[in-house]
Amino acid sequence: MKLIEKIRCYFGFKALKHYLELNPRKIKVCNLQDAKSIGILFSLYDQESFKNALSLEKQIKNSGKKISLMCFSAFKVLPEFYTPKADSECFTLRDIDWKKMPFGGTVERFASQEFDILIVPEILESLPVMYLAAISKARFKTGKTSEHGTAIYDLNIQLPVEGSQEELIRNIVYYLSLINNGKSES
């Protein structure tokens, strides 16, 4: 990582930490069965990450939930394989400031939606995605346990170092199906 990139990340994570300290939130635990609206926030690294997000969307949408997708493309223009849909939006490098904080109408619209659950199937720490997850008005947030993500997510999913995005998605769906479902095991 270049020196300038390290400086940007340092100040970005510092701003994220400061935001989290100043903005406590009320958590409302919700499982997949009870959720009516779900946000999916992910990075568009390659065609595989896009395919995984669409697969997660399809899996959840089959149960009649309202889904909104938001992706971050680490490019100035959207890749050719990204096909926009009515319920999806994307922000790019043009929509982040020097501290890697996202801004603009697309970001604000997504952050202001009060999802029952926000799912962030990120394997790598992406500061723009983490910041958007932090400012989101979602009542319950879930994502991968990481150095900075633990303070953002209400349900942190632990993965081995070599864990895949598919494995993370399977675990998120599994645990969101288990929690707070009113059934007790004997």
Alpha-carbon span 56 to 175, nearest angstrom? 14
The 10s digit of each residue's pLDDT in 27-56 is: 999 999 999 999 999 998 888 888 999 899
Which residues are CB-contacts of 173 (< 8 A; sequence separation ≥ 6)? Answer: 32, 56, 59, 60
Residue 185 has pLDDT above 70, yes or no: no
For residue 147, the model assigns a pLDDT of: 84
- The full DSSP string for 24-39 is --------TTT-SEEE
Q: What average pLDDT does this structure show over 83-88?
A: 75
CATH of the domain spanning 3-178: 3.40.50
Domain definitions of the chain by residue range: 3-178
Confidence category of residue 186, pLDDT binned at 50, 70, 90: very low
